A = this chain, B = another copy of it.
Amino acid sequence: MKKIKFKCWVEEEGEKFYGPGPHQLVKSIQEEGSLSKAAGQMNMSYKKAWDLVQRLNNNSEEAWVILKKGGQHGGGAEITPHAIKAMQEYEKLQQKISELLQQQEDLIKVLK
């Protein structure tokens, strides 16, 4: 059984900015309140996750994730309203493409 898959992401100057990976990470940060926990949950190295957050924050006018270090509980991470808005739009877009693909089964019919 053949299936059509797709992936969409945002680039800036040819470099990947936001895609499925970052999306899942930010989502996980929102749930966990901690970058290290979020990374661990999705089986990503902390370093990779940290680099990713830097990329998001440094290449946007508005920050995506606020990292706090120190304090009684060592610190934590939380996402901004801007991140929430962007995540919603990204999911909307995925949904639209997904709907389009369901209507376009011509390719599948040809492939047997």
Contacts and interface: CB of A to CB of B under 8 A. Distances in A.
A108 B8 CA distance: 13
A18 B4 CA distance: 9
A96 B62 CA distance: 32
A11 to B, nearest CB: 5
Report the interface size class on chain A.
35 or more
A60 interface: yes
A10 interface: yes
B2 A17 contact: yes
Most buried by B among A1, A61, A85, A106: A106
Interface stretch (A33-41, A65-73, A87-95): A87-95
Contacts of A60: 111-112
A10 B12 CA distance: 27
Nearest to A90: B107
A20 to B, nearest CB: 11
A8 B6 contact: yes
Contact of A111 (B4, B18, B92, B96): B18
